Amino acid sequence: MRFAFLTEFKQICVKHQYNRIARFFCEVSKKLAVMVVRGNLGWISFKNFNL
């Protein structure tokens, strides 16, 4: 579900590539999305080890 959202978001970013503000927003959001995904993966593996 989250990866589908990311690909959809990427399409929006490509569509608004010419818009400087939208491009900046996309870059920031991309970095946040990567951190969230990494954080969730880390949390999941951490949770599994605590079983």
pLDDT tens for residues 7-45? Answer: 776 777 677 667 788 778 878 888 888 877 777 776 666
Residues 11, 14, 34, CA angle at the centre, nearest 5°? 70
Is 30 among the domain residues? yes
Q: Are 23 and 17 in contact (CB under 8 A)?
A: yes
Whether residue 51 lies inside any domain: the answer is no
Are the CB atoms for 6 and 33 separated by under 8 Å?
A: yes
Q: Does the global pTM surpass 0.75?
A: no
Q: What total number of domains does the chain contain? A: 1
Range of the domain at 39: 12-45
Q: Are 9 and 36 in contact (CB under 8 A)?
A: no
Q: How confident is the model at residue 48 (pLDDT cuts 50, 70, 90)?
A: low
